[in-house]
C-alpha cells in the first residue's frame, strides 16, 4: 500500500519505540519484585522448580527481579542489548512454564509467551542505531 511504503525508512525509530516501551514495562514489573526483599525473592525463585531447579530460590528470585529492572533500563538505552534480550527471554520462558506448570491455561501464559517471542526476534534484529550499542 503506497500510504505506508515510506515507513520502512523509520525502522530504527520503530526499534526505539519497542525498546522504550518494553523497557518501561519491565522496570515497572521488576522494581516491586526487587524491593520485595527475600520473602518475595523466595516466592519468585520458587518458579525454578518448573525447570528442575530446587535450590536457592531466593537467589533465583533476586536474579529474575534484577534482570527485569536492570534489563528494562538497558533495553531503553540499548546497552548490552542482545545479552539482555537473552536473559529476559530465559526469564519469560520460566514465567510461561510456571503458568502452565501450576495448572494455568495457555491464556494465562500468553503474555509471557508473546514477550518471549518478541525478545527472540530482537536478538536477531539488534537495538537499531538509536542506542548506545549503535549496531
Instruction: Take residue 47 and report the three cell numbers written for it.
Output: 518458579
Instruction: Take residue 96 and report the three cell numbers written for it.
Output: 510461561
> Within a 10 A sphere around the Cβ of 7, how many other Cβ atoms?
10
Return all residues near 16 (Cβ < 8 A) that are at least 6 apart: 128, 130, 131
Q: Are 30 and 67 in contact (CB under 8 A)?
A: yes
Crossing angle of helices 106-125 and 81-101, in 10° steps, is 170
pTM of the model: 0.92
- What average pLDDT does this structure show over 65-74? 98
- What average pLDDT does this structure show over 81-97? 97
What's residue 7's pLDDT? Answer: 85
Of the candidates 32, 40, 78, the residue with the CA atom closest to the CA atom of residue 57: 40
For residue range 51-61, what is the model confidence (pLDDT) as tens digits?
A: 999 999 999 99
For residue range 21-42, what is the model confidence (pLDDT) as tens digits?
A: 999 999 999 999 999 999 999 9
Amino acid at each position: 500500500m503506497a500510504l505506508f511504503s515510506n515507513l520502512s525508512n523509520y525502522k530504527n525509530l520503530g526499534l526505539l519505540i519497542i525498546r522504550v516501551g518494553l523497557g518501561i514495562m519491565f522496570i515497572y514489573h521488576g522494581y516491586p519484585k526487587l524491593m520485595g526483599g527475600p520473602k518475595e525473592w523466595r516466592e519468585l525463585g520458587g518458579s525454578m522448580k518448573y525447570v528442575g531447579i530446587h535450590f536457592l530460590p531466593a537467589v533465583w528470585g533476586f536474579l529474575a527481579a534484577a534482570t527485569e529492572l536492570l534489563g528494562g533500563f538497558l533495553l531503553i538505552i540499548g546497552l548490552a542489548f542482545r545479552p539482555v534480550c537473552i536473559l529476559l527471554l530465559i526469564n519469560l520462558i520460566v514465567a510461561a512454564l510456571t503458568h502452565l506448570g501450576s495448572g494455568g491455561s495457555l491464556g494465562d501464559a500468553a503474555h509471557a509467551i508473546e514477550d518471549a517471542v518478541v525478545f527472540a526476534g530482537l536478538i536477531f534484529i539488534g537495538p537499531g542505531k538509536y542506542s548506545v550499542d549503535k549496531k
